[in-house]
Structure 1
Amino acid sequence: MLLVVSRFQMLSDEQWALIEDLLPARTGRPGRPFSDARAMVEGIIYRYRCGLAWRDVPGVFGPWQTIWTWHRRLAREGIWDVVLQRLQAFADAAGLIDWSVSVDSSIVRAHQHATNITRHTQGAGSNYTKPGIEPPDHAIGRSRGGWTTKIHRVVDGNGRGLVTLLTPGQAGDSPMFEPLMAHLQVPRQGGGRARTRPDRVRGDKAYSSRAIRTHLRRRGIQAVIPEPADQARHRKRRGSRGGRPPAFNEVDYRGRNVIERSFNELKQWRGIATRYDKLATLYRTAILIHDTITWTKTLSDTA
């Protein structure tokens, strides 16, 4: 073991064994000495967990410049998306994914260190952070809280992350629903098409729109979404033309609290609760690493 101080180590040997072979074995620069991948990962985790500047990362993990370069390379190449998909495939094969999913978003403040970058906002309203692609506005925008980023998430019935996308803080929740569902792809072990259709989707009133309900109904997915009071009044005002009220399972809706608890747990990492990264790809990758720890812990505990 290279890391002998327990508070500097988040991944157990069992957790590390699940992801080790998917991470690059070198820093990517020919002629440079090999850097231990596990130390790099633990250094990245420590930085986001404590909310430090990169140059303040303890030397036990190695040079901070190497850790940052390694982190940026993996974010640019979408490596952590591949890691997370593998873990989700393992979990699905073991029956550990609850396919009653919940969807929601949460706003985080962007620190002034994150906003000191040129943002091209023209036509960027529909952009969101995809694996390895940096949006022109860097997923930073103005909302009531100032410069903010919005995290959009899909979690399983136990609150474990399945999909994460970023937008500027002023972006609405409803327009991001279909992109989130389009990115919900859990591979199947042994080949075959990835699973993309949950059993039901739980969402708050922000996701109550005709387009979303039609999308779910067309795919055979149960919608557990309450109807806002203004939509109900408008429907009743139209009489028979307004149609029937949408079906809503109030008891099942109580399970939506898992995504609120998921955000609470996610923001225990100070570098996620406040965004310090200029690049949205780096910030999103930190969330994927948090999800990786959650899934590896689930798999190692049930092994």
Structure 2
Amino acid sequence: MPNSSGRSGRPFNDHRLTTEGIIYRYRAGIPWRDLPPHFGAWQSVWKRHRRYSLDGTWDRTLAALLTRADAAGLINWEVSVDSTVNRAHQHGTNLPRHTGGPSNHKNLLTEPEDHAIGRSRGGLTTKIHALVDGNKRPLVLLLGPGQGGDAPMFENLMEALAVEREGPGRARTRPARAMADKAYSSRAIRSYLRGRGIQCVIPEKDDQKANRQRKGSAGGRPVTYDKEAYKRRNVVERSFNTLKEWRSLATGYDKMALTYRSAAVLHAVVIWSAALEDTP
């Protein structure tokens, strides 16, 4: 964590107490103004979260924990990908936004013009796209508008996966196996995984199968995948269940996508910190 604010003035409040205040707010789903005074002035707690969201502190903290976890053998490199739709609260949707753009927000530290809020069947919603390991622990978290497709985000999630090593050597970016549901069934994704030497465990859509069979030999070979491994894909769904225990993640109260996503990253920080603490 940063030692100071980098500017002259009053020093930072205690990191642990302030971080606990941020976590308390997101777990309880309360307005920042209702934060118990035990954590200090709510403005200070909010500003700290805002600062660490903008400068990438939470992302660097998660990256450091993943490095330690990989060295301890805690990361299961059988990854699963999916997204979950979260309703945006009216208090988080009153900023001007330009919708209709692409949903693949690549830059983690740049606020998207639509603030990752879009209109879907559930109204104004935001999608959290996640890549988790085989133990349902988050490795990569990205945001997109609620109406955005899942498949366009797949490569962004995979490209954002980079776990640095404690010693010499390149960061690990290639899992042994990537699993996803039929929403990610496309030739582009299969070709991408094949080119990187990653086993693809994605079933084929029924309409894609029918089109291939209709073409006969010109339709190409049937899609094959490890059905036993696919039974373990539910780890990503279970990961979302854990994430939504924080009420301000289950419902988006944040106006800015940066702070909302960083809260999800902080949730991952808590998970990996607990995993490392339990390691003998």
Counterpart residue number, 1:160: 137
Q: TM-score, normalised by structure 1?
A: 0.90
Structure 1: which 5+ runs fail to align? Answer: 1-22
In the alignment, is residue 213 of structure 1 matched against residue 177 of structure 2?
A: no
Secondary structure at 1:255 match in 2 = helix
Counterpart residue number, 2:253: 276
CA distance in 2, matches of 1:276, 1:158: 29
Counterpart residue number, 1:61: 39
CA contact (8 A) 1:26 1:35 kept: no
Would the alpha carbon gap of residues 209 and 284 (structure 1) be closer, same or farther in structure 2, given more than 3 Å must change? Answer: same
In the alignment, is residue 100 of structure 1 matched against residue 78 of structure 2?
A: yes
Counterpart residue number, 1:141: 118
Paired residues in the alignment total 280
Secondary structure at 2:164 match in 1 = coil
| Partner AA of 1:185 in structure 2 | A
CA distance in 2, matches of 1:292, 1:256: 22
CA contact (8 A) 1:25 1:37 kept: no
In the alignment, is residue 82 of structure 1 matched against residue 34 of structure 2?
A: no
| Partner AA of 1:76 in structure 2 | L
Counterpart residue number, 1:112: 90
Residue in structure 2 matching 1:262, options 213, 217, 239:
239
CA contact (8 A) 1:152 1:166 kept: yes
Structure 2: which 5+ runs fail to align? Answer: none
CA contact (8 A) 2:131 2:141 kept: yes
Secondary structure at 2:234 match in 1 = helix
| Partner AA of 2:201 in structure 1 | V
Counterpart residue number, 2:165: 188
| Partner AA of 2:58 in structure 1 | W
CA distance in 2, matches of 1:30, 1:55: 26
Deviates more, 1:25-34 or 1:168-177: 25-34
Counterpart residue number, 1:7: none
Counterpart residue number, 1:11: none
CA distance in 1, matches of 2:155, 2:84: 17
Secondary structure at 1:302 match in 2 = coil
Counterpart residue number, 1:52: 30
Identity of aligned residues (%): 59
How much does 1:217 deviate? 0.6
In the alignment, is residue 42 of structure 1 matched against residue 20 of structure 2?
A: yes
In the alignment, is residue 297 of structure 1 matched against residue 274 of structure 2?
A: yes
Counterpart residue number, 1:225: 202
In the alignment, is residue 201 of structure 1 matched against residue 201 of structure 2?
A: no
Residue in structure 1 matching 2:4, options 14, 21, 26:
26
CA distance in 2, matches of 1:127, 1:105: 13
Counterpart residue number, 1:15: none
| Partner AA of 2:44 in structure 1 | T
Would the alpha carbon gap of residues 71 and 113 (structure 1) be closer, same or farther in structure 2, given more than 3 Å must change? Answer: same
CA contact (8 A) 1:127 1:135 kept: no
Counterpart residue number, 1:17: none
RMSD of aligned alpha carbons: 1.2
CA distance in 1, matches of 2:69, 2:195: 27
How much does 1:229 deviate? 0.9
CA distance in 1, matches of 2:265, 2:163: 15
CA distance in 2, matches of 1:215, 1:36: 45
CA contact (8 A) 2:129 2:143 kept: yes
